[in-house]
């Protein structure tokens, strides 16, 4: 199973879960669900990197381990932080990842120049690293971005929204940050849940909205992180 298939499976499971809730077969509180299980976002992002051939397996295992430990703590099953301090352990794990990752070439590749993409949709998972992307699709249809313990820059300045009036990007940020750059003539709409995090609209003209202009909708889950939209 590759990253695309795993992401599709996750989306299907979430859809089935929400469908069962809407038909009152099962009942749950979305706020409680996110509050009690947000570390699973970190675990899933680690799984994405684990099956991605171009990603560091050590880094993926570290991400999964951090997510599992946080989930065990929240579930009151095991609290490792009662025995060791959190930050020294995180630094040790980060040091191990630096030692056994694929090396400086991979890191320089991420930051030396943007990865140019012409596809009409974007699906990117970044963990314990930095990613610089540029999409120039002339019929951009949205997609998804997952960031865990890292940073992602997405440049959409030269992209266009043509076949639809609105497109959506699902953004999940946990212990990291994301910057998205859009054309000045696009509208922006935020939806979602910030948990000890925030998002901000830093575009040049936020006072007026052109109803005829294309709209970028951002469905966000931000946990100990941030999302900025800029021109």
From residue 85, give the alpha-carbon distance in Å to each of 90, 174, 215: 9, 20, 45
The answer to whether residues 202 and 223 belong to one domain is yes
The answer to whether residues 97 and 167 belong to one domain is no
Mean pLDDT value across residues 20-26: 73
Query: How far is Cα 147 from Cα 128, in angstroms, rounded to an integer?
Result: 9
The answer to whether residues 130 and 28 belong to one domain is no
User: Which of the pair, 188 or 130, is modelled with greater confidence?
Assistant: 188
- The pLDDT confidence band at residue 164, using thresholds 50, 70 and 90, is confident
pLDDT confidence of residue 179: 94
39-48, 117-126, 146-155 — which is least confidently predicted? 39-48
pLDDT confidence of residue 104: 42
The answer to whether residues 132 and 184 belong to one domain is yes
In terms of Cα–Cα distance, which of 138, 162, 166, 142 is closest to 154? Answer: 142
How many separate domains does the chain show?
Answer: 2
Q: pLDDT at residue 112 above 50? A: no
pLDDT confidence of residue 107: 41
Mean pLDDT value across residues 137-148: 89
Mean pLDDT value across residues 117-124: 88
The answer to whether residues 174 and 207 belong to one domain is yes
User: Which of the pair, 142 or 36, is modelled with greater confidence?
Assistant: 142
pLDDT confidence of residue 110: 42
Q: Give just the sign of the alpha carbon dihedral 4, 171, 227, 214.
A: positive
Quote the domain boundaries for residue 99.
3-105
Concatenated DSSP letters for 139-167?
S--EEEEEEESSEEEEE-TT----S-SEE
Query: How far is Cα 219 from Cα 115, in angstroms, rounded to an integer?
Result: 23
Q: Residue 42: is it exposed, middle or buried by C-beta count within 10 angstroms (0-12/13-18/19+)? A: buried
Per-residue pLDDT reduced to its tens digit, 206-228:
555 677 889 999 988 888 788 99
Q: Say which residues have a Cβ less than 8 Å from residue 103's Cβ, sequence separation at least 6.
A: none
Please provide the size of the chain in residues.
Answer: 231
Q: Is the pTM of this model over 0.85?
A: no
Q: What strand order describes the sheet that includes 115-117?
A: 115-117, 130-135, 151-155, 177-181, 226-230, 198-201
Domain boundary among 87, 105, 123: 105
Mean pLDDT value across residues 83-104: 60
Contact 137/119 with Cβ under 8 angstroms? Answer: yes
Q: pLDDT at residue 28 above 80? A: no
* Cβ count within 10 A of residue 116: 11
- The pLDDT confidence band at residue 106, using thresholds 50, 70 and 90, is very low
- The pLDDT confidence band at residue 91, using thresholds 50, 70 and 90, is low
- The pLDDT confidence band at residue 100, using thresholds 50, 70 and 90, is low
* Cβ count within 10 A of residue 122: 19
Domain boundary among 59, 87, 105: 105
The answer to whether residues 61 and 44 belong to one domain is yes
């Amino acid at each position: 199973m590759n990253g695309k298939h795993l992401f599709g499976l996750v989306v299907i499971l979430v859809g089935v879960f929400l469908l069962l809730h809407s038909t009152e077969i099962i009942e749950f509180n979305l706020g409680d669900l996110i509050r009690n299980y947000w570390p699973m976002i970190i675990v899933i992002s680690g799984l994405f990197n684990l099956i991605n051939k171009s990603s560091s397996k050590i880094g993926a295992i570290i991400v999964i381990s951090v997510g599992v430990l946080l989930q065990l703590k929240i579930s009151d099953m095991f609290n490792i932080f009662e025995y060791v301090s959190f930050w020294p352990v995180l630094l040790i794990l980060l040091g191990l990842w630096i030692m056994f990752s694929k090396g400086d070439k991979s890191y320089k590749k991420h930051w030396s120049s943007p990865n140019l993409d012409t596809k009409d949709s974007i699906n990117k998972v970044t963990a314990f690293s930095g990613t610089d992307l540029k999409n120039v699709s002339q019929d951009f249809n949205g997609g998804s971005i997952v960031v865990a313990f890292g940073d992602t820059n997405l440049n959409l300045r030269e992209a266009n929204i043509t076949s639809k009036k609105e497109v959506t990007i699902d953004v999940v940020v946990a212990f990291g940050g994301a910057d998205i750059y859009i054309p000045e003539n696009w509208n922006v709409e935020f939806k979602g849940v910030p948990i000890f995090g925030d998002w901000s609209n830093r575009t040049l003209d936020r006072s007026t909205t052109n109803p005829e202009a294309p709209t970028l909708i951002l469905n966000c889950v931000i946990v100990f992180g941030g999302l900025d939209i800029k021109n």
